[in-house]
Amino acid sequence: MSTLFSEIQNLFERTYASVGINLEECLIDRRRSRQLEALAGAQARELSTLARTFLRAAGGRLRVGIYYSQWLIERLETDDPRAGLNDRNIRALIPFVEEINHALHAALRFHRGEHPVAGEAYARNLELQAQVDTYLVLLLFVAFFRRPGRIRREDRRWLRFHMFECSSGLNYTDRGLRGRYAETTALAARYTGFLEGLSAARRIEEIRVFHALGYDEKRGRILELTDGNRPDAG
């Protein structure tokens, strides 16, 4: 029987490429998450305790740990988004999808020879990609329950509020984290707005090109396609 986790991983792999492993096997408990958090440094302690992805290259392999809090798991089990998205489960579903996306794209980049690094560009790349992909996944959830699958303007406003406006990213005391989430959220909001104007086939083609780019290239592409000014980095 498929799980919500495996269904989302399969969706991403159909869109991009297979990573060759079941990412669900990378799930870790709170004790292990605390151990890895301690090794990650002071900045990492400010990141969300609801869900986390830990990445490390060692011995020619990519080590991945995905953590979900008990609250998040219970929320999705109690109010399964496969039965419908609502105000009770969307705040749990967003980080649930984002962490799967972080792990999957890190694995795809590792296969292409790019190792996880402490540099800001690597972190921003994964964060921007995750916000874009998660928004598109949420659209699919909403469309599934619409007959005949047409998404209303109210649905888009509701999703965009939860994805791009109702964000805690600006609450970080660390200036680097504030800048990371402010910029990636602004870019993701802009890019997903552009994607919504494309046909389904053209949208898939565009995001496949987009995912292979480095962060500066992604940023430049978004600004070019949306004909916008440079977003505030916070």
pLDDT in tens, 25-84: 999 999 999 888 888 766 666 677 889 999 998 888 999 999 999 999 999 999 999 999
215's tokens: 């962060």
Rounded Cα distance between 176 and 181, Å, is 9
* Residue 126: inside a domain: yes
179's tokens: 């800048």
* Residue 130: inside a domain: yes
* Residue 173: inside a domain: yes
Contact 48, 69 (CB under 8 A): no
* Residue 234: inside a domain: no
Pairing of strands 27-28, 51-58: unpaired
* Residue 125: inside a domain: yes
Domain span including residue 154: 4-226
pLDDT in tens, 197-228: 999 999 999 999 999 999 999 999 999 999 85
53: three-class secondary structure by DSSP: strand
* Residue 231: inside a domain: no
Least confident piece of the model among 128-142, 147-161, 220-234: 220-234
149: three-class secondary structure by DSSP: coil
Question: Can you give the pLDDT at residue 230?
Answer: 47
Banded model confidence at residue 2, pLDDT cuts 50, 70, 90: confident
Rounded Cα distance between 110 and 107, Å, is 5
* Residue 169: inside a domain: yes
* Residue 232: inside a domain: no
pLDDT in tens, 79-106: 999 999 999 999 999 999 999 999 999 9
Domain count, the chain: 1
Least confident piece of the model among 37-46, 128-137, 156-165, 182-191: 37-46
Share of the chain above pLDDT 70, in %: 91
Question: Can you give the pLDDT at residue 170?
Answer: 62
